[in-house]
Structure 1
Amino acid sequence: MKSKTANRKRFVLTSISLAVLTLAAEVHAQETQRVEVTGSSIRRVAAEASLPVTMVTGEELEKRGMTTLADLMMALPESASLAPSNAGSGTNINLRGLGVNRTLVLLNGRRMANEAIADGYANLDVIPMSAIARVEILRDGASSIYGSDAIGGVVNFITKRSFEGKTISAQMVQPQKNGGADEQRFSSTVGFGNLENDGWNWYATVDGHRRSRLLASDRAELSTPELLTSIGRAPTLGSGGYAMPANFTTATNKTAQNPYYAQGCAAPYSIQGAKNTCILNANYYGTALYANEQLTFYTRFTKRFNEDHTLTVDYMRGQEYILGTKNPSTSLAANGVTAQLPSTSKWYPGGSGGVPAVAGLKGEPLTVTWSVADLGEATTKDKQVNQRIAVNDEGRLGGWDYKLGFVYGHSLRENYYDSGYVSGPGLLAGLANGKLNPFGLQDAAGKEYLASISVDGAMNRHSVSTFTGLDLTGSRELMSLSGGPAMLAIGADVHRDTNEDQKTDITSIVTYANASPSYAKSSRNVMAAYAELELPVTKTLNLNVAVRDDHFSDFGNTINPKFSFRYQPTKAVMFRGSANTGFRAPTLFDRYGYRLPGATTTTSAKWDDPVQCPGGTPGVAGTGKALPGLVASTVCNTTLPKQTGSNADLQPEKSKGYTLGLVVEPVKDLMMSADYWHIEMKDMLANLPEQVYFLNPEKYASYFVRNPDGSLAYLKNVTMNLGGQKASGIDVSLSYAFPKTALGNFKAQLDGTYLTQFDNQLEPDGPYIPNVGRFGAASNGTTSSMPIITFRWKHTLTLSWNRGDWGSQLTQNFNTGYHDQNLVAAQYFRDIESYAVWNWTVSYRGFKNTTISAGITNLLDAKPPVTNHNAYTFGYLSSAASPIGRAFNARLTYNF
C-alpha cells in the first residue's frame, strides 16, 4: 500500500512539475481576427489577452462525446461543480469552489434570469448545446465589465454568429451494466441567408435530451453491506426509525421493537437493524442518478445594414424536468397527533390480521414509525422554464464603436408531488380506524384508502425570477503611444431583478415533505457605470485599467477597480497579471425570501441530538444514548428538524484578488502557461455545514432551538455572514501539435489546477480552517448540503489524432485523493483514492454530408471513490464522481 501511494504521489508531482515547467497555454491564442474577449469591452486580437481565458468550442464538446453541459462543468480543472444527482436545481458551475453564487454565467455577454428559487445562479441545462459556438471561461474574478459579483470568474456561452443549411443530429449513451442512466439526444438546426452576400441571416435550433433514472440497486455493488461495514458505516447499526414493517413503542416502553424482526423484516423493503428493529433498505429505495428531460429552442436573426452597423435579435427557451426521489412517505405526527395504532385494529400484533403477537403487550395503543411501502418512493417533478429575448445593436458612429443592448429573461420553476405522496392527517386517520396496516402491504381496502388520500399531481411550490437590463458601451482610440493606439471604453447599464416564491397551502397537510406554506416577493434595481483604458505603453508592455461603480437600490454604492498588465519581452515569452476587488450583495432569496418560525426541512445526514442523546463521540451518529423515557430512534442516529430560509440581517460580502502568469512558446506549436491566482473574501455569505454544529455542540448551542420540554424545535441553518475565505492555486496548461507524419496529425493538451490554499473562517476573527484535500468547513449551501470538494490537483489530459476523414480523441479526467471524514472509530480512518476516468471517441466524415462518431466513456470502468462521510448515503463520493461505470456512446450528424 505504501508503494502504491508513493507511486501515485510521484505521478501527481511529475504531472505538476511538467505542467509548471512548460507553463501552458491558450489554444485560442492563434486567432488573428479582432474580437471582443470575455473580460473586456475593447476589441483586440485574442492572442493579446492579458487575462487568463479558457475556451472550449462546440466542436470540442462533440469530440469528447459530451451529451450535457454538466459533463463539461465536471471536467474543468478550475471547477468544483456538483455531479448532476446532487444538484437538484439542474446544472450549475462553481469556479474555484467559491460557490455557484460567485460564478457569473453569461449568454453572448449578457446575463440570464437565474434559477427561480435561490435566484443566485443560472441553470445551464436550459442553454441549447446545438447553438453553442464556444464557451469562454474567464478564470480571473470580479469583472469590472460584467459585474463586481463575479468573484470566482465568468463563464460566457457564445452562440453561433450565423448558420446556413440544415442539419440533424442524434446521439445515444448506453451503460454497459444493466439498469438506467441511458441517454438520448436529438437536435435539428436550419438557417437561411448569408451575412456577407445577402446582408442577413436567420437560424433556429431545437435540442432535446433525456436521461433515465439510475437506481442505487442498479449499482448495488458500490454500496454493499460488506463495503459499508469495512469503512465503519455498517447499515445494521441503525435502529428504530421509519420502516415497513413499522417499528413501535408504547407509553410505558420507549424501546422500539418490531413484530417481524425475527423473520428478517420484509425484503426488499427493509433489513434487520439493531436492537430488535427493522430499518429501510437504502439500496432498494435510493437513487444514484436522477431522471432528467430537457427541451431547448434557440433562434437568432441578424441584419447587417453595412460594415459599420449590425442588428441582432435572439430568443431562447429552455425547459427541463427533473424527477427527484425520497424514501416512501411516513406516518409523521400531524397537528400534534402522533401515529398510533389502537388495539381495535385488526392489524394490532396478535389480532385477526395475522400480525405476529409480541410478548408484553396488553392492548395499549402503539406509536408506530411506519414507511408506506405500497406507495413506492416519494417522487417530485421539478419543472423549469427559462426564456430570454435579447436585442443587440452594434456599429460605428462618430469615431466610436458602440454596442447597445436590451435583454429580458423570465425563469419559472414549479415543483409537484408526482407520486407517492398522501395527506399526513389522512394517513394517521387510516391507522386509527383500522383501514391501514403498518406491518405489511395493504389489502384491497387499504389500497383504496391510500388512493383516496393521495395528493399526487398537486403543485407545492411556484417560483419566478426575472431579469430586465439595458446597456450601452462605446470604445474608441484616444492617442498613439509607443506600442500602438490607446483605447478607451465607457459604458453604463441598468437592470432590475425580481423574485417571487410561494410554497402552496397543500404543503401543510403533506407532513412527510417537511414544508410549510410561505410566500415572499422582492426586487432590486442596479445601475452601473464603468470605464476601461487600454495603454500599450511600449511594444512589449500593455496596461489595462478598469473601474466599475454599482448602485444597488438596497445597499447603496460600491466602486471596484481592476488592473491588469501584459509584458512580452520576446515573441516566445509573455508575462501577465491582474488585481481586482469585488462586492456581492445577498441574493434576493437569501435576504428577502420566505421566513418561517419553525423547522422547514430536516438535516441531510443523520445525527445524535447532543442534549437528548448525549454521551457519544461528537459528530459520530449512533454513539450517544437516549435520555430515559425518550425513543432512541427519534433522537439518536436520525435526521433532525432544520430551519432554512432567508436572513434579513445579511450584509454584502467583499473580495480582493490577483493573478500572475507566464505564457511561453519555446518552439513552434508548443504553447505553455502557468497562472497563480489568489482570492480573499470577508463577511462571506454561506450556510454552516451541518457537521460543524455537531462537532462542537457547546459552541453552537444557541443554534439548537428547543421546545419547552427540551426537544429540538429546529437547528438554525439559514445563510449567515460568516468570517472570511482564502483560496489560491496555480492553473497550468500545455498544448503541443506534433510535426505532421504519414500516420496523421497528433496533438496533446494538458489543463490542470494545483490548489495551494482553501481556508474558511466560520466567524469574524476566528481561526481559518484548511479545506484542501479534506472535508473541511465549506459546503455548497445554495444547491446542496454536500461539502465542497477541493482536490489538491485536478487535470484534463487530451490526446488527439486526425488523418483524412478520420479523427480520434483520448481524454483523461484526473483528481488526487482525499482525506476522508473519519468521524468513526480510529480503526476505520482512511484516505480516499485518486480518481481517473479515461474517455475515448473516434469519428469518420467519409460519407457524403455525414459525420459518424462513437466512443466509450469511462474506458477502464473506474469505480467512484469510497467515503465514510455521513452525507453520502451510499458510501461513495457521488458529488464528484459518476456511478454509471463504462458506457458506450454513438452520434450521427447529417447535413442537408
Structure 2
Amino acid sequence: MKSKATSRQRFVLTSISLAVLTLAAEVYAQEAQRVEVTGSSIRRVAAEASLPVTMVTGEELEKRGMTTLADLMMALPESASLAPSNAGSGTNINLRGLGVNRTLVLLNGRRLANEAIADGYANLDVIPMSAIARVEILRDGASSIYGSDAIGGVVNFITKRSFEGKTISAQMVQPQKNGGADEQRISSTIGFGNLENDGWNWYATVDGHRRSRLLASDRAELSTPELLTSIGRAPTLGSGGYAMPANFTTATNKTAQNPYYSQGCAAPYSIQGAKNTCILNANYYGTALYANEQLTFYTRFTKRFSEDHTLTVDYMRGQEHILGTKNPSTSLAANGVTAQLPSTSKWYPGGSGGVPAVAGLKGEPLTVTWSVADLGEATTKDKQVNQRIAVNDEGRIGGWDYKLGFVYGHSLRENYYESGYVSGPGLLAGLANGKLNPFGLQDAAGKEYLASISVDGAMNRHSVSTFTGLDLTGSRELMSLSGGPAMLAVGADLHRDTTEDQKTDITSIVTYANASPSYAKSSRNVMAAYAELELPVTKTLNLNVAVRDDHFSDFGNTINPKFSFRYQPTKAVMFRGSANTGFRAPTLFDRYGYRLPGATTTTSAKWDDPVQCPGGTPGVAGTGKALPGLVASAVCNTTLPKQTGSNPDLQPEKSKGYTLGLVVEPVKDLMMSADYWHIEMKDMLANLPEQVYFLNPEKYASYFVRNADGSLAYLKNVTMNLGGQKASGIDVSLSYAFPKTALGNFKAQLDGTYLTQFDNQLEADGPYIPNVGRFGAASNGTTSSMPIITFRWKHTLTLSWNRGDWASQLTQNFNTGYHDQNLVAAQYFRDIESYAVWNWTVSYRGFKNTTISAGITNLLDAKPPVTNHNAYTFGYLSSAASPIGRAFNARLTYNF
C-alpha cells in the first residue's frame, strides 16, 4: 500500500485531470429523451446498454406470488444467497457466491446504511416491497460508477417515480401441512398530485409482514431417526451431552452416566444416546424457520420546477423483529466453577427426591451436564431499524445533465434475551444448595428459584452503523461521431461510514451463552472521482470507458478502470463485453470490531478435538477416543469453543474480471442471450469453514489455541486474508412470445447460470481447490461460517398466459445436484439430489378496482434435499431449500 501522502497527491491529480477534460470538451445539446441504466451515469435508451442487466418488475414479484425479497434473492440464477430462515441479520444477497459484502445494494442508485453488526452488507428486509417499481441486477463485476467494492455485481432497487390515488393490498400464505410458517402481508399506498400536470407528486406506502415460527417437530418427517441413520448421522450416536435428565461424571469415573437411561430418558425433552446416556431431542427443540415481523414505511415527494429541473426527497424506515430460538440454558461451568451436585442435595441419585440410585456411587460430588427443560427454549429477540433520507436534485444547466444528491442512513440493531435465560453462576449455585433438580422438572421451590435468577428481557447487544454521502454527477455530449454523439460523464462523491458495537455487561452473567462484554467503534471516510466516456464509433460499434479513483482514509488510493463495448452488426445480433478491476477494503467490523482474548461462541457442528480425542478419521466426528482421565462427551463428537471477532491484520483484496456476451433475435419475439463471465480475486477476505481445520489438524495446529493443561481454549476462526479465488460461468436467457391465439397470449422465459469454475486458494501460492457442485473450501464469512454453496446449474423458468382480465404464471426454480460433505463412514458417501420447485399463480381483474390473485407455492410438494453435512442439524439443506412444503397463497388488491 502506498503512503497516504502519495495517495492524496494521486487523488488530487486525478480530480484535476477530470476537471480539465470536462472544461475543455466541446459540447452539443441533446434533445432525445433517455433514461439512466444501472451501471452507467450516462442517460441512454435502455436497449443500448452494453452491460448484462437483469430486470424484475414489481408486477413480476406479484405474479410469482412472492411475499418477501428473500423469495426473489433465492430464485435469481446468478445468486448464491443463503436462505434467511434463521439469520438474525435478515435477508442479504450473494451474487456469484462471492460473498454478501461483495454485492453492492442500492436504493434508487444510492447506498443504504449497512446492517449494524457486520457493517458489510444491506438487509433487504427493510426495503418496502410495495414501493418497488423494479429491481435491476448488474451482473458484471466492480462498478466504476458506484464503488470499486462491487466485485460480485450491483442490485439496484428502484421505487415508483410517482403514485396518484389510493390502494390497499392484503396477502396470506397458508402451508398445507399443520404447524407454523403461515404468512400475512398488508400494504397501503396513498398519493396526490400529477407530476406531468401539477408539477408535483407525493406518495407514501406502509407495508407490514409477519411469519410464524415453524418448529422442527412440525416437519418431523424431514429429519426422522431413520433418515438420519441412513445417511450416517444416527441421533443415538451422541453421548453424555447436556440433557434433561442430566448426565453426570465423578472425579474418579469420567464415563458419563444417567440415572434414567434404562427408563428411556424423559420424553419429549430427551432420547436415549450411546453409552448409558441421554441426549437432547433435537426434533422437539429445533426450529425450522424463525418467527419474523417486518414493518416498512416509504414516502417520496417530487417537485418539477421545469422540464429541466426536478427535486426529489424520499424517506425510508424499515423495522424487523426476528425471534431466534436455541436449545435450553445449560449448566456450563462459570468463572472456573463446574456444575456440581453435592450428596447433600435431595436430588442426589438415591436421595429423598426420588431420583433412582446408581450403582457404584458413594456420595462423591457429581459433575452434571444439564439442560434446563423448565425454562423452555432460549429465545432471543433481534430488532433492526434502518432509516434513510435522500435528497436528489437533477436537471440541465448549460448543456449539462446534472444530478446532485445527499443521503443519510442510520442502522440500529439490538439483541435481547427474550425468554429462557438465567444467570449462569446462579444456576450453578442452585445446584449446589439443593434448590434445583438436574434430573427432572422442578418443584415449586425450584421454579421460584429459576424465576429469581432470570435475566429475561435484558439487552445483550447494541450496534449502530451510519452512512452519510454527498455526490455530484454531470454528463453531456462532446462531439459527433459516425454512430452518434460522444458522451462524457464526470462525478465525485464523498461518504463517511461509522459503526459502533457493544456487547453489554449482562453477557458476563449469562456465562453459558459464550459471549463477553465488549465495545468497538470505528469510522472511515471515502472520497472518489470518476469519469465515463461513451463513444459510438460507428452505427454498429459502441465503446464505453470509465475510471474511478477512490481514496480511503485508512487504506489510501485505488484506481479502477472499466471498459465495455457493444457491437451490433445487424438488428438481430449484438455482441457485448466488459473488463474491470476491483478493490475491497475490509469491513469496519472485520478490521476494527470487537476483539476478545478467549472463546466467543462454539462451533456450528460437532467435532473431535484432534489432540484430546485423537485416533479417529480426520473430520469425522465420533471416531476418536478421549485421552485417559478426560470426559469423552466434552472432547469427542461435541461442539467446541470458537473465537470470532475482528482481525487487525487484514488488508484489502483486489479483483479483476471480464464478460463477453451474445444477444440474438433470430425471429420475431424470440430473444436469446449468453454471457460468459470470469472473476479473479487475490488476498481474498474470508473465513475458513470448520471442516478445513479438522480435515487437516496438523496443518492448522496453530489455530487450535490451547490452555496450559492442553485443553482447547478456542478455535481461531476470524476473517483472514486467504489466497485467491477464481469464478466463472455462463448466464443464459431465452424468451419467446408466442403468436396471439384465440385462447390468449402465451410467453415463455428461461434465465439460468452455468458455473464452469469456482476455485478457492486457502493460502497465497497454495493449490486452488475446486468447489463447483460441492461444499466450498471458504465460507460465506460475514453472515455464516457455513461453506459456500455453488450449484453447477441454476435456472428460473416461467410460463405465462393472459387473456382479457385473466392471467396466470407457472414458475420453476431449479438447481442441479451436489456432492455431499461425506465426513461420515465410507458406506454413507452420497450425492445430494437436484431440487426443483414449481409455483403457480392466477389473477383476475374483472371486478371494478379490484385484483384477486391466488396460487400454490411448491406445487408438487418437493422435499428439501437431504445432506449429511454435520452443521445441518436436521439433515436437510436448509440454507438452500425451504422445509415448508406445499403452501397456498392469496392476494387481494383494491384501488380507491
Q: Distance in 2 between matches of 1:262 and 1:825?
A: 29
Matched residue SS, 1:23? helix
- Do the aligned residues in 2 keep the contact of 1:24 with 1:733 (CA within 8 Å)? no
Separation in 2, partners of 1:418, 1:358? 38
- Deviation string 1:260-317 (CA, Å, 9 cap, x unpaired) is 0000000000000000000000000000011100000000000000000000000000
Contact 1:24-1:734 within 8 A present in 2 as well: no
| Superposed displacement of residue 823, structure 1 | 1.2
CA contact (8 A) 1:213 1:287 kept: yes
Structure 2: segments with no counterpart, 5+ residues? none
Deviations 1:357-377 (A, max 9, x none): 000000000000000000000
Query: Does the CA-based 8 Å contact 1:865-1:881 persist in structure 2?
Result: yes
Structure 1 residues 15 and 769: alpha-carbon distance in aligned structure 2, compared to 1, 3 A threshold: farther
For 1:426-477, what per-residue CA distance to the aligned partner results, in whole angstroms no more than 9, with x for missing partners? 0000000000000000001100000000000000000000000000000000
Distance 1:3 1:479 in 2: 39
Structure 1 unaligned regions, length at least 5: none
Q: Please say if residues 30 and 477 of structure 2, whose CA atoms lie closer than 8 Å, have aligned partners that are also in contact.
A: no
2:474 maps to 474
Q: Displacement, 1:197?
A: 0.3
Q: How many residues align?
A: 896
Query: Given that residues 201 and 303 in structure 1 are in contact (C-alpha distance below 8 angstroms), is that contact kept between their aligned partners in structure 2?
Result: yes
Shift of 1:21: 44
Q: 1:583 to 1:269 in 2, by over 3 A?
A: same
Deviation at 1:490, TM superposition (A): 0.1
Cα distance in 1 between the residues matched to 2:814 and 2:20: 17
RMSD: 8.7
Taking structure 1 as reference, are residues 424 and 24 closer, same or farther at Cα in structure 2, changes over 3 Å only? farther
Q: Which moved more, 1:6-15 or 1:788-797?
A: 6-15
Aligned to 2:523: 523
Q: Deviations over 1:641-680 (max 9, x none)?
A: 0000001000000000000000000111111100000000
CA distance in 1: counterparts of 2:23 and 2:732, whole angstroms? 6
CA shift in 2, pair 1:322/1:26, >3 Å = farther
Shift of 1:23: 43
Instruction: Output aligned runs, 1:655-670, within 5 Å.
Output: 655-670=655-670
Once residues 127 and 850 of structure 1 are traced to their aligned partners in structure 2, the CA distance between those partners, rounded to angstroms, is 25
Assess if the C-alpha contact under 8 Å between 2:414 and 2:459 holds in 1: yes
In the alignment, is the contact (CA less than 8 A) between 2:242 and 2:280 conserved in 1? yes
**CA distance in structure 1 between the partners assigned to 2:842 and 2:7 by the alignment:** 31
C-alpha displacement of 1:15: 49
Q: Is the 8 A contact 1:773 1:791 kept in 2?
A: yes
Query: 1: distance between equivalents of 2:545 and 2:14?
Result: 38
Distance 1:678 1:17, change over 3 A: farther
**CA deviation string 1:226-281 (max 9, x = no partner):** 00000000000000010000000000000000000000000000000000000000
Once the 2 structures are TM-superposed, how far is the Cα of residue 32 of structure 1 from its aligned partner?
10
Q: 1:141 is matched with which residue?
A: 141
Residue 361 of structure 1: SS of its match in structure 2? coil
Residue 28 of structure 1 aligns to a residue in which SS? coil
Superposition deviation, residue 784 in structure 1:
1.2
Q: 2 CA distance for matches of 1:695 and 1:175?
A: 40
Shift of 1:87: 2.5
State how far apart, in whole Å, the 2-side matches of 1:68 and 1:337 are: 47
Deviation at 1:776, TM superposition (A): 2.7
**SS of equivalent to 2:450:** helix
CA distance in 2, matches of 1:502, 1:12: 37
Give the whole-Å Cα distance in 2 for the aligned partners of 1:614 and 1:11.
56
In the TM superposition, what whole-angstrom CA distance separates every residue of 1:306-332 from its partner, at most 9, and x where no partner exists? 000000000000000001111000001
Deviations 1:871-894 (A, max 9, x none): 100000000000000000000000
Distance 2:471 2:586 in 1: 23
- Cα gap change, 1:894 to 1:122, in 2 (>3 Å): same
1:512 and 1:641 map into 2 onto residues whose CA distance is 11
Query: Does structure 1 conserve the Cα–Cα contact (< 8 Å) formed by 2:29 and 2:477?
Result: no
Pairs within 5 Å for 1:241-320: 241-320=241-320
The 2-side partners of 1:378 and 1:27 are apart by: 66
Q: Is the 8 A contact 2:28 2:477 kept in 1?
A: no
Q: 1:54 offset after TM fit, Å?
A: 0.1
Deviations 1:180-224 (A, max 9, x none): 000000000000000000000000000000000000000000000
State whether residues 24 and 673 of structure 1, in contact with CA within 8 Å, keep that contact through their aligned partners in structure 2: no
Distance 1:329 1:184 in 2: 32
**C-alpha deviations, 1:131-169, integer Å up to 9, x for none?**
000000000110000000000000000000000000000
Counterpart position of 2:87: 87
Deviates further, 718-727 or 79-88: 79-88
Q: Is the 8 A contact 1:19 1:734 kept in 2?
A: no
Query: Any conservation in 1 of the 2:412–2:465 contact (CA below 8 Å)?
Result: yes
Write the mapping of 1:623-662 to structure 2, written as runs, cut at 5 A: 623-662=623-662
Tell me which residue corresponds to 1:380.
380
1:486-535 per-residue CA deviation (whole Å, 9 max, x = no partner) reads 00000000000000000000000101210000000000000000000000
Relative to structure 1, the CA distance from residue 262 to residue 134 in structure 2 (aligned partners, 3 Å threshold; closer, same or farther) is: same
SS of residue in 1 equivalent to 2:633: helix
8 Å contact kept, 1:728–1:755:
yes
Going from structure 1 to structure 2, the CA distance change for 1:16 and 1:595 (only over 3 Å counts) comes to closer
Pair 143,410 (structure 1): closer, same or farther in 2 beyond 3 Å: same
Kindly state the Cα deviation for residue 14 of structure 1 after the two structures are TM-superposed: 51
8 Å CA contact retained: 1:389, 1:408 = yes
Is contact 1:299–1:314 with CA below 8 Å preserved after alignment? Answer: yes
1:25, 1:663 within 8 Å by CA — same for their partners in 2? Answer: no
Matched residues in 2 for 1:421 and 1:25: separation?
68
> How far did 1:84 drift?
1.6
Counterpart secondary structure, 2:591: helix
Shift in Å, 1:778: 2.1
Q: Structure 2 length normalisation: TM-score? A: 0.96
Residues 392-437 of structure 1 show CA distances to partners (whole Å, capped at 9, x for unaligned) of 0000001100000000000000000000000000000000000000
Query: Per-residue CA shift, 1:794-834, capped at 9, x if unaligned?
Result: 00000000000000000000000000011111111111000
Name whichever of 87-96 and 311-320 sits farther off. Answer: 87-96
Q: Give the whole-Å Cα distance in 1 for the aligned partners of 2:262 and 2:720.
A: 48
Distance 1:443 1:15, change over 3 A: farther
* Residues 390 and 405, structure 1, Cα contact 8 Å, conserved in 2: yes
C-alpha distance in structure 2 between counterparts of 1:621 and 1:22, whole Å: 64
CA–CA distance in 2 between the matches of 1:776 and 1:617? 20
Decide whether the 8 Å contact of 2:18 with 2:490 is kept in 1.
Answer: no
Distance, in Å, in 2 between the alignment partners of 1:217 and 1:2 is: 57
Distance 2:142 2:246 in 1: 54
Q: Secondary structure at the match of 2:24?
A: coil
Work out the CA distance in 2 between the residues paired with 1:665 and 1:397. Answer: 39
Cross-structure match for 1:558: 558
CA distance change for structure 1 residues 4 and 287 in 2, over 3 Å: closer, same or farther? farther
The 8 Å contact of residues 32 and 45 in structure 1, kept in 2 or not, is answered as no
| Distance in 1, Cα, partners of 2:71 & 2:15 | 23
**Alpha-carbon spacing, 1:488–1:866, altered in 2? closer, same or farther (3 Å):** same
Tell me: CA distance 1:13–1:199, structure 2 relative to 1, closer, same or farther (3 Å): closer
- Residue pair 1:23, 1:673 contacting (<8 A) in 2 also: no
Query: Any conservation in 1 of the 2:732–2:753 contact (CA below 8 Å)?
Result: yes
Q: How does 1:508-547 map to 2 (within 5 A)?
A: 508-547=508-547
Task: Tell me how far apart the structure 2 counterparts of residues 391 and 459 of structure 1 sit (CA, whole Å).
Answer: 34
Contact 2:525–2:552, Cα closer than 8 Å, also in 1? yes
Structure 1 Cα separation of the partners of residues 238 and 59 of structure 2:
50
Distance 1:502 1:8, change over 3 A: closer
Summarize the Cα distance change of 1:490–1:303 in structure 2 as closer, same or farther, 3 Å threshold.
same
Tell me how far 1:34 sits from its aligned partner: 1.7
Q: CA deviation at 1:18?
A: 46
Cα pair distance change 1:760/1:77, threshold 3 Å: same
> Any conservation in 2 of the 1:813–1:836 contact (CA below 8 Å)?
yes
Cα distance in 2 for residues equivalent to 1:24 and 1:858: 60
8 Å Cα contact 2:174/2:182 also seen in 1: yes
Contact 1:27/1:735 (8 A) holds in 2: no
Cα separation, 1, equivalents of 2:119 and 2:697: 32
Q: Distance in 2 between the 1:323 and 1:513 partners?
A: 16
Residues 21 and 540 (structure 1), Cα distance of their counterparts in 2 relative to 1, 3 Å cut: farther
- Rate the CA distance shift 1:245–1:232 in 2: closer, same or farther, 3 A: same
SS of the aligned residue for 1:710 comes to coil
Determine if contact 2:745/2:803 at 8 Å carries over to the other structure.
Answer: yes
Encode CA deviations 1:677-717: one digit per residue, 9 max, x unaligned.
Answer: 00000000011110000000000000000000000000000
The answer to whether the Cα contact below 8 Å between 1:26 and 1:733 also exists between their aligned partners in 2 is: no
Q: What SS does structure 2 have at the residue aligned with 1:27?
A: coil
In 2, Cα distance between the equivalents of 1:10 and 1:546? Answer: 17
Deviation at 1:24, TM superposition (A): 42
Question: Which deviations, in whole Å up to 9, do the C-alpha atoms of 1:326-367 show, x marking residues without a partner?
Answer: 100000100000000000000000000000000000000000
